[in-house]
Amino acid sequence: MSPGREPNNAWLFVRDEIDLLEEEFDEIFRRHDALRDPVRHALEESVLKEQLETEEATESEVALHMGPKLVEEERGAPPPSIMEEFDSVGSLREWLKRDVMRDPFYESVFLWSTRVAKWAKEAYDRNPQSRDLFRIYVNACLVPAKVAFGQSEETHEHEDALELASKEYELASVYLRRVQDSLQTLEDAGSLPAESVWMFSEANQIAEKLAQARRRLSQPRPFRP
Q: Which of 49-53, 84-88, 89-93 has the largest mean confidence?
A: 49-53
Instruction: Evaluate whether 151 touches 100 at the Cβ level (below 8 Å).
Output: yes
Q: Can you list the positions of beta strands (E) in the chain? A: none
* 180 or 15, higher pLDDT: 180
DSSP code, position 158: S
- SS3 of the chain: helix, strand, coil, percent, to 5: 80, 0, 20
pTM score above 0.85: no
Q: What is the pLDDT of residues 172-185, one digit of tens each?
A: 999 999 999 999 99
* 124 or 157, higher pLDDT: 124
Count the neighbouring beta carbons within 10 Å of the beta carbon of residue 70.
Answer: 15
Q: Give the residue extent of every domain in the chain.
A: 9-218
**Is the pLDDT reported for residue 2 higher than 60?**
no
Mean pLDDT computed over every residue of the chain: 79
